[in-house]
């Protein structure tokens, strides 16, 4: 049983990495530059941080069978953790005062190009 659980976690980990790679490609084709991948703090994690000019995207990537399931997968606690990690990242930026921040989601769905959903939630 332990081997089966470990195999499942490894499969999900790989699926997540693949999803983040696809999401980053989709954003780069839209003109964004990926500045961080899997930005981790004690307060939370942000899957991707992308930037185009003074606009910074804090992106949550969800690999799900449908867009509805992907959107439902971001709960209130997830929003709080992402927002807290975003505050820490922004505080370390020398041009912090000029930046506009948006919280987006990229849904990676089967046999489809990733779906970029803007303003999935509002930060503090």
How many domains would you assign to the chain?
1
Q: What global pTM score does this model have? A: 0.90
CA-CA-CA-CA dihedral for 23, 25, 31, 32, to nearest 10: 50
Output the average pLDDT for the chain. Answer: 92
Number of CB atoms found within 10 A of residue 43's CB: 14
CATH of the domain at 69: 3.40.1350.10
| pLDDT tens digits, one per residue of 56-114 | 999 999 999 999 999 999 999 999 999 999 999 999 999 988 999 999 999 999 999 99
- Residue range(s) defining the domain that contains residue 45: 2-121
**Does the pLDDT at position 23 exceed 60?**
yes
């Amino acid at each position: 049983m332990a081997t089966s659980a470990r195999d499942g976690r490894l499969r999900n980990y790989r699926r997540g990495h693949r999803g983040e790679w696809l999401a980053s490609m989709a954003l780069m084709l839209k003109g964004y530059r990926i500045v961080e991948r899997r930005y981790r703090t004690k307060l939370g994690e942000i899957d991707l941080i992308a930037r185009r000019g003074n606009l910074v995207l804090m992106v949550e990537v969800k690999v799900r069978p449908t867009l509805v399931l992907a959107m439902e997968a971001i709960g209130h606690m997830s929003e709080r953790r992402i927002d807290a990690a975003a505050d820490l990242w922004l505080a370390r930026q020398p041009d912090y005062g000029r930046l506009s921040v948006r919280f987006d989601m990229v849904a990676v769905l089967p046999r489809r190009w990733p779906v970029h959903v803007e303003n999935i939630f509002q930060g503090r």
